[in-house]
Amino acid sequence: MTYSLQLGGSKELAQNAAAQYRTALAVYLAIYAIAGLLAIVLPSLVGHALALAPPYGGIRPVGGLMLLYAAFQLPVFQHAMRSRVPALIATAGRFLLALLWLLAGGYFVWIALFEIVFAVLLAWLIYKYMAAELMSRP
Amino acid sequence: MPVEWYEKPFVAFEKGLNRFRPWHRWPFLISLPMLVGIRARMRWSNLFDTERTPPGFPASSSPNIRSQRTADGSYNDLNKPWMGMKDARFGRNVPLERTFGETPPRLFEPNPREVSNRLLARKEFVPVPFLNVFVSSWLQFMVHDWLSHGENLHPEEAPPYEIPIEPGDTWPVNPMTVLRSRPAPAGASDPGQPTAYTNIETHWWDSSQIYGSTLARQMMIRTDPQTGQICPDGKIGLKPDGHLPLEKEIEAVPDAEGVRFYHLELTGVNGNWWVGLSAMHTLFAREHNCIVDRLKLDFPQASGEWLFQKARLIVAALIAKIHTIEWTPALMNSPEGKIAMRSNWWGLLGEHYARAYGRLSELELVSGIPGSPTEQHAAPYAMTEEFTACYRMHPLMPDEYSFRSHVDNHHIATKSLIEVARRNVPEIYDEVGFENIIYSLGTSNPGALVLHNYPNQLRMLPEKSDLTHQERLAEGFFTDLAAVDILRDRERGVPRYCEFRRQLGMSAPATFEELTDNPAWREEIKALYPTVEDVDLLVGTLAEKGPPSFGFSDTVFRIFILMASRRLKSDRFFTTDFTPEVYTQAGWEWIQNNTFRSVLTRHCPSVAPLFEDVRNVFFPWAIAGSAGSAGAVQ
């Protein structure tokens, strides 16, 4: 009998898929959190990096939003299968966000690129995880 | 087409994408909404009623029709009490004008016996390595619940069909004779319409294979074999060793198919009896009695009648659940197959949500069919002839069975299919033992649903058990079930493969090359059928390459996706009355908390360690004595 037909084997496959998804999501959320903190603590640095014209008063709120955005995804990070509806909404949302960054133009295109890379990666990994989780059931 | 508002986008989505390729050739996230669209479309395009004059139904004799199933299946639908009852007609999945039965010479073209010999006969057993033989016995267990055409016409009522035997064929007599199907009694509106046939079992998913479809049969099953009296506490009568009693010759209540089943084990339907089927009946008779014991704890004052009826409701629902979330997903071992079946029961929100919070919505897509509103869609509920045709899955049966010990896997006996069938079953229990039989079925593979894999013993099935083999040879008292399968579909007007697919909204192969990618089969089919349009449904579905990880073809899957949800959605006891009030709180929890795994564990605890690490108990179990390894013994 193949490994995937066993309860232990299929659960292990699902756990491995979950670990891959969580790792990628952790990197993504950590980058957002760091960027958000930077925007709050050092708005002028961020403004310079993005070649924005001063004043940089709007950067702090954006940093706060980025932190909030990362925090809202923590339940998905903790257990994506129990928060699968938010996980799927977030998956679609990342593509939308990438589009918004792209429309902003300028140096934001680099953020759009970052967003699209993670959007594709996380969509692929959550698909693999959900399929593996499903295939660990009778 | 009154498709629900929320299903319309799915129907449009499926229609659009199906032009390019079928659902199973799209990625998961696209195929899933396509499946929703297929089912929604078929509910309004592939259900047809044949009850031109609704049949009579008995006056209700029970004050409890709201909370218990009747023996004959009447009063499930309170507006149309005849719906789905015993002796109601089979419905259809294709328009009625397409269901006129074939007549000679077309009926015999090509010769069904030749189809059997040249395309169906098993050359070498082709197993399904990821399934066990419980798949076969469960399937038969279910089919006996849902349908039976009953006795055929006797030769004095209508001359049997005569199938000529080709030179060189080893069939003992020429021609082979096959009795005609018994048509439904003609009604005033029937002339000019296709012949309809009646289902002599209840159509509902009500475990009538265990409890019978008549009150008289039900009373026999409830009779204690020791005392000859109805079990006072609502249990099924079992022998002291926990086995089913034998049906006595003096008992004048026939099974659906008449008197030829005397001396077989007694149950609701004991036709086509063999040890795998007997094991299923034994397990669920014991389960019924366990449920009665559980109910007695909460309802010590309840009558035996009340306990029996509640236990029956619970057993029927448990079996429906097992079929939906264990048996079918085992045969559709892919993410799409699993989510389709699991969402039938729990909805897309899933098991955890349903068990924690109950229903979020009345929509079956969100919270599953059980507990959602009852709906008949385009026609009153009935099993269909096309469904019957798609469940012709005899290749699942091996020709030979190896029985081994569940303790150390040592070989006990090897028996042929005939030797494990009919009146031989009690002897096998004596010789092998119940747990060893369960273990042996759990560790053997069924046959694959492909051409050249039809059990040869079913192609020369002995009739009239009181005759010797020589007498049978002289008189030709044998049945080639493969030839009969082909003939019955033609006789009952089930369209041939290409037309069948078109009627289901599928593309039909234009050439033999499109029919199958197996070049040897292609040439064999070409040699027998003048055109691809002539290919029989059974041959086409066995030649077709199914969706990945599926045990059957996409063509039969289309019928299953429609009918599997219909069996639940049309039944009041799975929809509006699927509540703790009707089932009792204890019964409700029994259904929620049990599976086939727990049924096996409860009644065969000594074999439980062998399926402990199997994801689905319809997959092959571990081999006894070989720590950790699992797989089927060939």
Confidence of residue B627 (pLDDT cuts 50, 70, 90): low
pLDDT higher than 70, residue B98: yes
Average pLDDT over residues B202-209: 98
| Residue B76, CA distances (Å) to B129, B428, B461, B571 in order | 40, 39, 38, 7
pLDDT higher than 80, residue B419: yes
pLDDT score recorded for residue B633: 46
* Each residue's pLDDT tens digit, B313-348: 999 999 999 999 999 999 998 888 899 999 999 999
| ipTM of model | 0.77
Angle at B466 between CA B460 and CA B470, to 5 degrees: 55
d(CA B332, CA B473): 42
Helix (H, G, I), strand (E, B) or coil at B411: strand
Tokens of B468: 């010797």
- Can you give the residue ranges of every domain in chain B? 71-331+378-604
Residue B281 designated active-site: no
d(CA A80, CA B361): 23
Q: Buried (b) or exposed (e) across B380-396, using 16+ Cβ within 10 A?
A: bbbbbbbbbbbbbbbbb
pLDDT higher than 60, residue B253: no
Tokens of B156: 């004095």
- Interface touch B595/A136, C-beta < 8 Å: no
* Each residue's pLDDT tens digit, B104-131: 999 999 999 999 999 999 999 999 999 9
A127 part of contact set with chain B, CB < 8 Å: yes
Looking up tokens 């419905």 gives B91
Q: Evaluate whether B288 touches B210 at the Cβ level (below 8 Å).
A: yes
- Can you give the residue ranges of every domain in chain A? 7-134
A7 part of contact set with chain B, CB < 8 Å: yes
pLDDT score recorded for residue A1: 53
- Name every chain A residue with its beta carbon within 8 A of the beta carbon of B614: 1, 5-7
Q: Evaluate whether B366 touches B360 at the Cβ level (below 8 Å).
A: yes
d(CA B409, CA B389): 38
Element (H, E) at A129: helix A108-134
Mutate to test the interface with B, among A2, A83, A134, A136 (most CBs of B within 10 A): A134
Tokens of A112: 């759009």
The one-letter amino acid code at B331 reads L
Segment of B91-105, B186-200, B252-266, B341-355 carrying the highest mean pLDDT: B91-105
CA-based nearest residue to B573, from B204, B280, B64, B62: B204
A113 part of contact set with chain B, CB < 8 Å: no
List per-residue pLDDT tens for chain A, 138 residues long. Answer: 567 788 888 999 999 999 999 999 999 999 999 999 999 999 999 888 888 888 888 899 999 999 999 999 999 999 888 888 889 899 999 999 999 999 998 888 999 999 999 999 999 999 999 999 989 988
- For residues A122, A123, A129, A135, the Cα torsion angle rounded to the nearest 10 degrees is -170
pTM of the model: 0.92
Q: Any idea which architecture B71-331+378-604 has in CATH?
A: Orthogonal Bundle (1.10)
pLDDT higher than 50, residue B244: yes
Please name the member of B339, B595, B622 whose beta carbon is closest to the beta carbon of A134: B339
Confidence of residue B61 (pLDDT cuts 50, 70, 90): low
A57 part of contact set with chain B, CB < 8 Å: no
Bridging pattern class, strands B400-404 and B176-178: unpaired
Share of chain B above pLDDT 70, in %: 94
Termini Cα distance of chain B: 51
- Name every chain A residue with its beta carbon within 8 A of the beta carbon of B326: 138
Q: Buried (b) or exposed (e) across B261-274, using 16+ Cβ within 10 A?
A: bbebbbbbbbbbbb
Q: Given CA atoms B594, B599, B603, B604 in this order, what sign does their dihedral have?
A: negative
Average pLDDT over residues B406-431: 95
pLDDT score recorded for residue B186: 87
Please name the member of B130, B326, B350 whose beta carbon is closest to the beta carbon of A5: B130
| Backbone torsion region of residue B319, taken as left when φ is above 0, otherwise alpha when ψ lies between -120 and 50, otherwise beta | alpha
Q: Buried (b) or exposed (e) across B563-595, using 16+ Cβ within 10 A?
A: bbbbbbbbbbbbbebbeeebbbebbbebbeebb
- Name every chain A residue with its beta carbon within 8 A of the beta carbon of B342: 134, 137
